[in-house]
């Protein structure tokens, strides 16, 4: 399978990377991961890449005189491999201009909250601490802000009174693993059109872009 060429940036566990790999392996997503780039030598995402013989690379941010230079290097490596779409999968850095300019509206991120609520770190804990009744996750295109780019898909889950950060994170993560491959699929099918802040999903399925899970008590 060839299809869309992906480059994945990760810093840690890589469960979203795995969800994308699984969809590709199951031939439900017509894409190939050309490279997994990590900014952390211990990122488990690297192990996942190795398991599937996917090219991988550690780039040490400390080896660059500026953050812009670091992102310039990442852009170069992605371009070298003919990457069409860049996937941030638990990549713990704000992307800088050299990468954004190299891939305009071609970088996606997943955030564990319903943006614009609870951007930044620990979106799940922020929602729980705030007392939100509903939270979720968002796939969006990346701009220079922190979790501010145009929204592609959101999925909602309830926040239960007995939830801890861990139980809520787990509930959200299950949906992350559904909506991230789905957003990439819509992109691969050429159905996403960015119009200013809004992403239009072309086609005739009115449910595209929304997943709302009913309460999960006892599920
Ligand atoms: C996910 O919760 C994602 O929403 C956030 O970082 C976490 C990454 O998890 N951006 P993983 O590395 O994909 O398992």
> Given this model, what pLDDT does residue 164 score?
96
Q: Which pLDDT score, from 0 to 100, does residue 203 have? A: 79
What residues contact residue 153 under an 8 Å CB cut-off, 6+ apart? 138, 139, 179, 182, 183, 186, 208, 209, 210, 211
Q: Does residue 135 have its Cβ closer than 6 Å to ligand 1?
A: no
For ligand 1, mutation pick of 94, 127, 173, 175 (most atoms within 8 Å of CB): 173
Helices (H), the chain: 15-25, 44-51, 67-80, 97-102, 123-130, 165-188
Look up 111 and say whether it is catalytic. Answer: yes
Question: What pLDDT is recorded for position 215?
Answer: 47
pLDDT score recorded for residue 219:
41
- Residue with CA at minimum distance from ligand 1 atom 9: 90
| Cα-Cα-Cα-Cα dihedral sign, residues 196, 123, 145, 117 | positive
pTM summary value: 0.94
Structure confidence at residue 202 (pLDDT): 85
User: What is the mean pLDDT, run by run of 10 residues, along the chain of 219 residues?
Assistant: 91 98 97 98 98 98 98 98 98 97 98 98 97 97 95 94 96 95 95 94 68 51
């Amino acid at each position: 399978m060839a299809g869309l060429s992906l480059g994945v940036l990760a810093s840690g566990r890589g469960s979203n990377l795995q969800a994308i790999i699984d969809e590709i392996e199951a031939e439900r997503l017509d894409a190939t991961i050309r490279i997994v780039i990590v900014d952390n030598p211990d990122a488990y995402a690297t192990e996942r890449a190795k398991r599937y013989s996917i090219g991988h690379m550690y780039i040490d941010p400390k080896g660059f005189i500026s953050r812009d230079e670091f992102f310039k290097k990442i852009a170069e490596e992605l371009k070298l491999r003919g990457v069409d779409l860049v996937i941030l999968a638990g990549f713990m850095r704000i992307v800088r201009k050299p990468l954004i300019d190299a891939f305009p509206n071609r970088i996606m991120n997943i955030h564990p909250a319903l943006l614009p609520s609870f951007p930044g770190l620990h979106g799940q804990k922020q929602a729980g601490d705030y007392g939100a009744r509903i939270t979720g996750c968002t796939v969006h295109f990346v701009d220079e802000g922190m979790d501010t780019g145009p929204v592609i898909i959101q999925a909602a889950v309830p926040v239960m009174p007995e939830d801890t950060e861990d139980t809520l994170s787990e509930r959200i993560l299950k949906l992350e693993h559904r909506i991230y491959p789905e957003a990439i699929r819509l992109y691969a099918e050429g159905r996403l059109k960015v119009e200013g802040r809004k992403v239009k999903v072309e086609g005739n399925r009115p449910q595209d872009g929304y997943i709302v899970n009913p309460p999960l008590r006892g599920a």
